[in-house]
Amino acid sequence: MKPSPRIMMFTWEFPPRIIGGISPHVYNLSKELAENGAEVYVITCDFPGAPAHEKVDDVEVFRVDSYKNPAPDFASWVYLMNMNMQKEAASIIRDLGGVDILHAHDWLVAAATIGLKHVFRKPLIATIHSTEVGRRGGIYSDYERMIHETEAWLTYEAWRLICCSNYMLIHVREFFNLPADKMVMIPNGVNTGEYDMYLKENLREFRNKFASSEEKIVLFVGRLVYEKGAQVLIRAAPKILEKVNARIIIVGNGYMKEQLLALAESMGVAHKVTFTGFLDEESLKKLQVCADVAVVPSLYEPFGIVALEAMAAKSPVVVSDTGGLSEIVEHDVTGVKIRPNDPESLAWGVTRILLDNGYADWIRENAYRKVKEAYNWSRIAQQTKEIYIKVLEEYSRTFWA
Cα 29 → chain centroid: 12
End-to-end CA distance of the chain: 13
CATH 3.40.50.2000 at 193-374, yes or no: yes
**CA–CA separation, 63 vs 44, rounded Å?**
5
Q: Is the pLDDT of residue 64 over 50?
A: yes
304: confidence class by pLDDT, cuts 50, 70, 90: confident
pLDDT in tens, 177-227: 999 999 999 999 988 888 998 999 999 999 999 999 999 999 999 999 999
Q: Return the pLDDT at 341.
A: 96
User: CB within 8 A of 306, min separation 6: which ones?
Assistant: 21, 221, 222, 294, 296
Return the sign of the alpha-carbon dihedral for residues 265, 257, 135, 322: negative
pLDDT in tens, 216-265: 999 999 999 999 999 999 999 999 999 999 999 999 999 999 999 999 99
As a whole number, mean pLDDT of residues 49-57 equals 94
**CA–CA separation, 215 vs 246, rounded Å?**
5
**CA–CA separation, 44 vs 48, rounded Å?**
13
Higher-pLDDT residue of 323 and 339 is 339
Q: What does residue 177 show for φ and ψ, rounded to 5 degrees?
A: 55, 60
pLDDT in tens, 274-291: 999 989 889 999 999 999
**CA–CA separation, 128 vs 149, rounded Å?**
14
Q: Is the pLDDT of residue 2 over 70?
A: no
Q: Is the pLDDT of residue 1 over 80?
A: no
CATH 3.40.30.10 at 6-189+376-395, yes or no: no
As a whole number, mean pLDDT of residues 30-53 equals 94
91: confidence class by pLDDT, cuts 50, 70, 90: very high
Q: Return the pLDDT at 401.
A: 80
Cα 105 → chain centroid: 11
3: confidence class by pLDDT, cuts 50, 70, 90: low
Q: Is the pLDDT of residue 4 over 50?
A: yes
**CA–CA separation, 241 vs 142, rounded Å?**
43
As a whole number, mean pLDDT of residues 160-170 equals 93
Considering the chain, what is the average pLDDT of its residues? 94
Share of the chain above pLDDT 70, in %: 99
For CATH 3.40.50.2000, the residue range(s) in the chain are 6-189+376-395, 193-374
Q: Is the pLDDT of residue 369 over 60?
A: yes
Letter for the amino acid at 106?
Answer: D
Lateral strand order in the sheet of 317-320: 273-277, 246-251, 216-221, 293-296, 317-320, 336-338
Cα torsion for 87, 109, 390, 62, to the nearest 10°?
Answer: 50
Letter for the amino acid at 230?
Answer: A
Letter for the amino acid at 91?
Answer: S
Q: Is the pLDDT of residue 69 over 80?
A: no
DSSP 335: B
